Chains A and B, each alone.
Chain A
Amino acid sequence: MKGLVRGVVTVAGLLALWHLAYVMNGRRSYLLPSPEQTARTAIERFDTLVHHALVTYGEILLGLGLGTALGVASALALVSWAPVRRWLLPVLVVSQAVPVFALAPLLVLWLGYGLASKVAMATLIIYFPVASAFLDGLRRTDPLWLEQARVMNAGRWAMLRYVRLPAALPALASGMRVATAVAPIGAVVGEWVGSSAGLGYLMLHANARMQIDLMFAALAALAVFAVVLYRAVDAGMRALVPWQRESDV
């Protein structure tokens, strides 16, 4: 209940600030439209917005799913097989020196203007925080737990499955939170480079046609989705590691 009140107050405050900026800016709608005007446009162009929004939302969700799955799988592979770790870990680290945004034109060239290049972009962006956080968690198991397991004659797999994996879940949860926060970037950058649909595409075109209010409406659609997605993932992660709250008190 308190959280709801805080949320409403925050949103109202931000809208008020927006309006204030609009007024102080001399009400020049071609630079910064007012919140009311943006809302009006959003209602007028609702069908267009929904059409493009669904494309972008789909890219983000697919990227999040794929990036998480790949990240979790790589972390498990890296921690389970020493040769994999010796050969692939340096490659993984060096690969992060390549800015993913610089790859966007290549991805569009290789995978086309459609969904695939954007999903690949989002996946790439999401992959690394998930893989590195989870790997870190898997490698930092409390030695005492491992010793207990060893005295109990646990095999390597049982130890991974019942001790190291659950012990790494809080780290995975932080990685997932970071990944979720950056996930929309991948999709939108991909759309900017080359696409025929999506909120990023809509923003680019609205911008070119001086439809700044439509651009803001698209931005709002993206922001609302990003917040909702983050909240959902955060809630999911809390459910995944319920013991964290108990020990944090």
Chain B
Amino acid sequence: MRGGRRLAVARACGPAPGVQPGLGVRLSEATLSYDGVRLFADLALELRAGRTTALLGPSGVGKSTLLRLIAGLEVGDHVRATVVCDDGGPLAGRVAYLAQRDSLLPWASALDNVALGARLRGEPLRPARKRAASMLADVGLGDRLHDRPGRLSGGMRQRVALARALMEDRPVILMDEPFSALDFLTRLRLQDLTARLLTGRTVLLVTHDPLEALRLGDAIHVLHGRPANLDAPLEPPGAPPRAADDPALLARQADLVRRLTGEHHAGAGS
């Protein structure tokens, strides 16, 4: 598993094998409008290599859109942006996407869902399914390989989706409110699991939950206003996952909540 990850990094970084722990991504000059409303104007965001960047903000500000823009899913005349990786190459093909909504295929077993990428790209299925099984074991679903999503709980389904994102073995992972539909305790547990499994990858985590951002983020940005601005990042000390009951964390949460609500008013006033 660890070996597999190092392999991915080496492939992603080309000229400097095994030196960089991830792949840094820089978004710049991002401009996007929907129906004449400018969501972003000349926005820039840096995802540091091997780190988790959390993106907070009120709903409707464009967090998910920003993530989709980086994923290459916003295409057309309404969008203009430059996405560059540290190695100068494009990001396309080197990113995995974990969606907000349950995106598992309802007709496929957990195993086939995790191995979907290999099947879609026409890669050999036998090794892929073997690896998928071990990924599912990693997220604690080793005994549910052949269950279809309809038989799994919401938390289990999101764990399958997480296993699928990991299975893709991409250096960059984009997560769009991956745990927002789960109850509090399940969410905490999945945050721990995610932090453990995603160590060393470049992650963009879009969330509306300040606690989640503080537990998982190395750098936390607040997105606000229209067109949207990014605050200077908050960088909580210590390595994720940070304990949810740490008083220092809770103090920062209060600060983040102030930023979120305060900026919201400022944005509305201007």
In the complex, whether A100 has a CB less than 8 A from a CB of chain B is no
A159 cross-chain contacts in B, Cβ below 8 A? 120
Query: Which of B95, B97, B106, B117 has the largest count of A CB atoms less than 10 A from its CB?
Result: B106
* C-alpha gap A167/B105 in the complex (Å): 8
Q: Are A144 and B103 in contact (CB under 8 A)?
A: yes
For residue B78, CB closer than 8 A to chain A, the reply is: no
Selecting from A27-35, A37-45, A70-78, A149-157, the interface stretch reads A149-157
Report how far A33 CA is from B117 CA in the complex, Å.
65
Structural contact, A152 and B117, CB atoms closer than 8 A: yes
Mark contacts of B64-76 with chain A using CB atoms, 8 A cut-off: 1 yes-contact digit, 0 otherwise: 0000000111000
Chain B CB within 10 Å — which of A145, A152, A167, A169 has the most? A152
Which residues of the partner chain B approach A154 to less than 8 Å between Cβ atoms?
120-121
Q: Which residues of A contact B149 (CB under 8 A)?
A: 243
A148–B178 Cα distance when bound, in Å, is 14
B168 contacts the other chain (Cβ, under 8 Å)? yes
The reply to whether A166 and B107 form a contact with Cβ atoms under 8 Å apart is yes
| Cα A167 to Cα B117 with chains together (Å) | 17
Residue A36 is within 8 A (CB to CB) of chain B in the complex? no
Residues on A with beta carbons closer than 8 Å to the beta carbon of B108: 166
Q: Is the CB of B120 within 8 A of A145?
A: no
Is A163 touching B151 in the complex (CB atoms < 8 A)? Answer: no
Interface flags for A125-156 (1: CB within 8 Å of B; 0: not) read 00000000000000000101101111111110
B150: CB under 8 A from chain A?
yes
- CA A114 to CA B73, docked complex, whole Å: 56
- In the complex, A249→B99 CA distance in Å? 24
A145 engages B119 (CB within 8 Å): no
User: In the bound complex, what is the Cα–Cα distance between A3 and B105 (angstroms)?
Assistant: 32
Flag if B168 contacts A166 (CB, 8 Å).
no
- Evaluate contact between A148 and B103: CB separation under 8 angstroms: yes
What are 13 A-to-B residue pairs whose CB atoms are below 8 Å? Answer: A142-B103, A148-B97, A148-B116, A150-B72, A151-B71, A151-B96, A151-B97, A152-B121, A152-B168, A153-B93, A153-B120, A158-B119, A246-B148
Name A residues whose Cβ lies closer than 8 Å to a Cβ of B. 142, 144-145, 147-155, 158-159, 162-163, 166-167, 169, 241-243, 246-247, 249
